[in-house]
Amino acid sequence: MFSTHALTIFVGSFLIQYFLIPPIITYHNYSSIPYMSQISIINVYISLLQGLFALYLEIIWHDAHYKIFTINHHIAIIVVTLITIYMYRNQIGITDKQFLTHVDESNKNDLLRSREIIKKTNNPDVLQFAQNNIQRVYDEKSKISDILTKIHNKKNRYKL
């Protein structure tokens, strides 16, 4: 049945993007799956988009295979995709803490890539850029840590 197969494609793509891709492409300890301790709306948006794109490909394949055009499926997937893109770009539902955590994750990726290119490059400009990038990451990590501490202390100040 098309709907069960399509749902499997969507859910499978979402789960792969949310749980399996991050430890592969980021600077994480592989002994733990990232994002398990805290749901990140940013990562939910990205995973939703991955699932929606996979689902849209499935709809296209289905229509081509059966030589039909299911306009309602195309419209629905395009509308949901555009809504998700709008929400992601406008950071709807994303807290300060989630934003800072996501920036920190991106910085970890920058750090990993910079360290690796330093080992391989003979280009002095690339070497200097990578070294500057590492310093920037450490500076931002310190700032992010300070801001997160302030956010945490502000929340706890009102608790009895």
- The verdict on 105 and 72 lying in the same domain is no
**C-alpha separations of 111 from 72, 135, 156 in Å:** 45, 9, 32
Same domain, 18 and 75: yes
Same-domain status, 60 and 83:
yes
Mean pLDDT of 107-130: 94
- Please tell me whether residues 65 and 137 are part of one structural domain: no
Q: Is pLDDT of 46 > 80?
A: yes
Q: Please indicate, yes or no, whether residues 23 and 85 belong to a single structural domain of this protein.
A: yes
Q: What is the pTM of this model?
A: 0.76
- Alpha-carbon dihedral 110, 116, 118, 123, rounded to 10 degrees: -90
Are 85 and 105 contained in the same domain? no
Same domain as 6, residue 85: yes
Q: What is the pLDDT of residue 137?
A: 95
The mean pLDDT of the chain is 87
Final residue before a domain boundary, out of 67, 89, 111:
89
Q: Both 83 and 106 in a single domain? A: no
Domain end, chosen from 89, 113, 138, is at 89
On whether both 103 and 77 belong to a single domain, the answer is no
Q: How many angstroms separate the CA atoms of 100 and 131, rounded?
A: 23
Residue type, 55: L
Residue type, 11: V
Number of domains the chain contains: 2
Query: Are 65 and 110 found together in one domain?
Result: no
Q: Which of the residue ranges 10-14, 15-19, 75-79, 132-136 would you say has the lowest mean pLDDT? A: 15-19
**Total residue length of the chain:** 160
Q: Residue 160 has what pLDDT?
A: 46
Decide if 25 contacts 109 (C-beta within 8 A). yes
**Residues whose CB falls within 8 Å of the CB of residue 160, separated by 6 or more in sequence, listed in order:** none
84 and 139 part of one domain: no
Owning domain of residue 55: 2-89
- Last residue within a domain, chosen from 37, 58, 89: 89
Identify whether residues 106 and 144 lie together within a single domain: yes
